[in-house]
Amino acid sequence: MSSTSNIHSHSHAASPDSKSGQPQGEVTYKEVTDTVLKMLEPPKAGWYLLLGFMLLLVGIGAVAWTKQILMGIGNAGKSHPIAWGFYITTFVFWVGIAHSGTLISAVLYLYRARFRMAIYRLAEAMTVFAVLTAGLFPLIHLGRVWFFYWLMPYPNQRALWPNFRSPLLWDVFAVSTYLTVSATFFIIGLIPDIAVARDRAKTTFRKVLYTITSLGWSGSNKQWKHFSAAYLLFAAFATPLVVSVHSVVSWDFAMSIVPGWHATIFPPYFVAGAIFSGVAMVITLAVPMRRIFGLQRIITDVHFDAMSKLIIVTSAVVGYAYITEFYVAWFSNNPFERAQFMYRISGDMAWAFWIMFTCNVIAPLPLWYKPLRTYIPFLFVLSIIINIGMWFERFNIIAQSLAHEFVPYSWGGYNFSWTDWGILVGSFGWFGMQMTLFVKFFPAVAICEIKEIMDPPVRNAGALGHH
Amino acid sequence: MKGTKAVVGVFSFFDDTLKAIENAKAGNYEYRVYSPFASHHLEDATLPGKSPVRFVTATGALTGLVSGFALAILCSMDWPMRVSAKDVVSVPGFVVIGYECTILFGAIATLLAMFHFCRLPDILRKVGYDPRFSDDKFGVVVSCGGEEVDTVVESLKRAGADEVEVRDAL
C-alpha cells in the first residue's frame, strides 16, 4: 500500500463545510508540497508585467520624493494649520495594514485557530512589507530625511538625548520593535519551508539561495522541538505587540490636547481599525494569488468565511467608535470637541468623513448575509473599498482635527499636492513590488504547518488515538 | 551520532515510525528522527519534557525590561530638562520604553536560543538526511557499531520501513 493511498484512506479529509481550515478533499503531503512549490516555478510574462508596473509606481514615488528633497518640504501639501497631513495619514494606514498579519499569525496561533495555516504566511509577509513601507513615511515627513538618526538615543557631542516622555519617541521604539519581531517571526516560520524548496530546487541559483536561507534545516526531532517552543514564544511576544503598536500610534494623537484627538477611546479604536484594514488587505492579496497559482484547495471558502467574520466584528467596533466619538463630544459639553465633530460631518472636508463612514460601516453590512461571505468577487471589491475607507479614516482624524482647532483665526484646509499623491502611489508600488518578488522566490503558503494539521498517514487506523 | 554506522529507515506511515523509535529505544541505540512537520507524538516519543529555550527567553525579556527603563531614566537624568511640567524621571511614560524593550530583547534572545539548540546554521546537513524527509516520508536514523548493523536493519524493517540504507557515520 502506498503512503499516498493510505493518506487518502486514513485522512479525515475535510468536507467543504468543515470549520477546520484543513485543505479540502483528499489532499496528500506531496500535493501540498507540489502545489506550493509550483508558485516558485520560473515566472511568466504576467509576473514580469506586474513587477514592471510596481516598479513604475515606485519610480513615480521616487521622483516625487526626490523633488521634495530638492525643493523642500513645502512641495508637499502639508502647511499651516495641517502640519501632519498626507504622510502621517499614510504612515498610520500602512501600520494598520501590518496589524492583521500579526493577528492571523500570532494571536490565532495561540488560540489554535487551524484556519490560519493556509493564509498566515501571506499575512505575515504583508505585515513585514507594510511596516517597511510605513517606516518610510515618518522619514519622508521629516523633510530633511538625512537627519532621521536624531530620533535614536545615541551618545553625541551635544550631550542631547531624545525626550522619552514624548509619544513620538514611544512610536519609534514601538514600530522598530514591531518590525524586528514580526520580521523575525516571519523568517523563522519560513526556514522549514525553504528547506522543502531547497530539496526540490531545479536551478543552481535557487539551490544556493535556499541552501543558505534554510540555514541547513533538516527537520530532525530535536530541531522541531526547539523550533516549536521558540515559535510559541515568538507568538506570545508578537501578540502584545498587536495591541501595543497601534495603541502607541494612537497616543501620538491622544496625548495631545487637539480637539478630535484627545480621547481615551483611541487605542482600542485604532487597534480594531488596524485589524479591519489588515484583514481586508489579506483578502485583496489572497484572491488573485489563489486564482493565479491554483490554490483553491488550500485557501478555501472556510478561510474567506472566517476573514469575513473578522471584518464584520472589526467593522462593528470601528462603527461603534465613530459613534462614540460623537456621543462623547456632545456629552462632554466641550464646545471645541462639539465644533470639531460638527465640522467633520458638515465642514469643507466632510466628504472625507462620509467616504470613511460609507466604506467602513455601511459597505461591510452585506457580509451578515452568509452566501456573500464566500462570494469571492464581492469580497475582493469590498476589501478594496474598506482600505479606501480606512485611509480616509486616518485622514479624517489627522487633517480634519488640525484644520479646526481652538482658534478660528488658525482654521484652514488641506491643499493636496502632486508630490503627496506621487508618494502615496509609490508606497503601493513599493509594497506591491516586495509582495510580487516574495511570492516568486519564497513559499507564500506554509507547507509544513498545513501538513501539521492534516492527519498523518497510518498503517493501522486508530494507532495514534484521538489527537 | 557516536556509532561508526548510521542505519537510515525511510517510512511512509507515522505509526510505523513510532514503532521504529520504540525499537531503537529498547535496543538502547542512539537515534535521530526526521519528519516533514512538527508533531507532538514524535516529541513525546523522543524528547519529552520542556525545551530550555524558555529560560533564555525569560532572561532576555528581563534584561530588556531593565535596559529599557535604564535607558530612559539615565538619558533623562543626563539632560535633566523638565518638559510640560512632567517629572524628569516620568515612570508612567517610560513604561512604554520598558515594555517595548522587554519584547525586543526577549524575541532576540529566543531567536539566539533557537539557533543554539537547533544547531543552526548547519549548512552541511546531518548524516542520514534524505530530501524525501521534507516532503512525505519520515526517517529514523539509528547509530550503531558495524557488528550491530544487521540487527538494526532487521528492527527497522520489522517496524515497517519502506527502505533501509546503511551509511558511514561521521
On whether residue A431 sits in a domain, the answer given is yes
Mean pLDDT within B86-107: 93
Judge if ipTM > 0.95: no
| Cβ distance of B86 and A165 shorter than 8 Å | yes
* CB contact set of A370 (below 8 Å; sequence gap of 6+): A305
Mean pLDDT within A3-11: 34
> For residues A279 and A383, what is the distance between their CA atoms, to the nearest angstrom?
8
Structure confidence at residue A19 (pLDDT): 45
Q: Among A194, A217, A262, A195, which Cα is nearest to A444's?
A: A194
Tell whether the model's pLDDT for residue A443 goes beyond 80.
yes
Q: Among A282, A286, A259, which Cα is nearest to A403's?
A: A259
- Can you give B151-168 as a three-state secondary structure string? HHHHHHHHHCCCEEEEEE
| B138-144 and B5-11 beta bridge pairing | antiparallel
Q: How many residues does chain B have?
A: 170
Please provide residue B141's backbone torsions phi and psi, each rounded to the nearest 5 degrees. Answer: -110, 120
Q: Among A118, A105, A62, which Cα is nearest to A238's?
A: A105
Contact predicate A142/A98, CB 8 Å: no
Reported pTM: 0.88
> For residues A173 and A185, what is the distance between their CA atoms, to the nearest angstrom?
18
pLDDT digits (tens, 9 = 90+) for A217-251: 999 999 999 999 999 999 899 888 888 888 999 99
pLDDT digits (tens, 9 = 90+) for A317-329: 999 999 999 999 9
On whether residue A203 sits in a domain, the answer given is yes
Structure confidence at residue A20 (pLDDT): 46
Contact predicate A314/A276, CB 8 Å: yes
| Cβ distance of B37 and A452 shorter than 8 Å | yes
Tell whether the model's pLDDT for residue A9 goes beyond 60.
no
Structure confidence at residue A1 (pLDDT): 35
Tally of domains in chain A: 1
Tell whether the model's pLDDT for residue A411 goes beyond 70.
yes
Contact predicate B86/B93, CB 8 Å: yes
SS3 A6: helix
| Cβ distance of B34 and A221 shorter than 8 Å | yes
Contact predicate A450/A116, CB 8 Å: no
Structure confidence at residue A21 (pLDDT): 47
Which residues does chain A have within 8 Å of residue B157's beta carbon, measured at their own beta carbons? none
Structure confidence at residue B170 (pLDDT): 55
pLDDT digits (tens, 9 = 90+) for A41-61: 888 888 999 999 999 999 999
Distance from CA of A169 to the nearest CA of B (A): 9
Instruction: Identify the helix (H) or strand (E) that includes residue A57.
Output: helix A45-71
Structure confidence at residue A463 (pLDDT): 67
pLDDT digits (tens, 9 = 90+) for A84-117: 888 999 999 999 998 878 877 888 788 777 777 7
Alpha helices in A332-375 (DSSP H): 335-346, 350-357
| Cβ distance of B12 and A457 shorter than 8 Å | yes
Mean pLDDT within A291-295: 83
| Cβ distance of B119 and A196 shorter than 8 Å | no
A350-357 helix and A376-395 helix, angle to the nearest 10 degrees: 150
Secondary structure letter of residue A215 according to DSSP: T
> For residues A282 and A210, what is the distance between their CA atoms, to the nearest angstrom?
26
Q: Give A197's pLDDT tier (boundaries 50, 70, 90).
A: very high
Structure confidence at residue A12 (pLDDT): 36
Q: Which three cell numbers stand for residue A329?
A: 463630544
On whether residue A46 sits in a domain, the answer given is yes
SS3 A250: helix
Structure confidence at residue B1 (pLDDT): 59
Domain locations along chain B: 5-48+127-168, 53-117
Alpha helices in A72-143 (DSSP H): 86-102, 108-110, 120-134, 136-142
A40 residue type, one letter:
L
SS3 A2: coil
Say which residue, A323 or A16, is predicted with more confidence.
A323
On whether residue A29 sits in a domain, the answer given is no
On whether residue A30 sits in a domain, the answer given is no
Nearest to A170 among B78, B97, B114 (CB): B97
* CB contact set of A364 (below 8 Å; sequence gap of 6+): A311, A312, A315, A382, A386
Mean pLDDT within B86-114: 94
For residue A379, give its domain range.
Answer: 39-149+162-453
Query: What is the percent of chain B with per-residue pLDDT over 90, rounded to a whole number?
Result: 59
Q: Which CATH number fits domain B5-48+127-168: 3.40.630.10, 3.30.70.120, 3.20.19.10, 3.30.1300.10?
A: 3.30.70.120
pLDDT digits (tens, 9 = 90+) for B25-47: 998 899 999 999 998 888 888 88
**Cα three-residue angle A435-A77-A99, rounded to 5 degrees:** 35
> For residues A118 and A316, what is the distance between their CA atoms, to the nearest angstrom?
26
Query: What is the percent of chain A with per-residue pLDDT over 70, rounded to a whole number?
Result: 93
Secondary structure letter of residue A275 according to DSSP: H
Contact predicate A318/A276, CB 8 Å: yes
A307: left (phi over 0), alpha (psi -120 to 50) or beta: alpha
> For residues B120 and A226, what is the distance between their CA atoms, to the nearest angstrom?
11
Which residues does chain A have within 8 Å of residue B137's beta carbon, measured at their own beta carbons? 3
On whether residue A8 sits in a domain, the answer given is no
In the block, residue with C-alpha cell 472556510: A302
| Cβ distance of B96 and A170 shorter than 8 Å | yes
Distance from CA of B27 to the nearest CA of A (A): 19
Say which residue, A421 or A291, is predicted with more confidence.
A421
Nearest to A216 among B51, B123, B131 (CB): B123
Contact predicate B160/B19, CB 8 Å: yes
Contact predicate A186/A109, CB 8 Å: no
Distance from CA of B148 to the nearest CA of A (A): 23
Distance from CA of B6 to the nearest CA of A (A): 15
> For residues B162 and B154, what is the distance between their CA atoms, to the nearest angstrom?
12
| Cβ distance of A233 and B57 shorter than 8 Å | yes
> For residues A92 and A94, what is the distance between their CA atoms, to the nearest angstrom?
6
Tell whether the model's pLDDT for residue A359 goes beyond 90.
yes
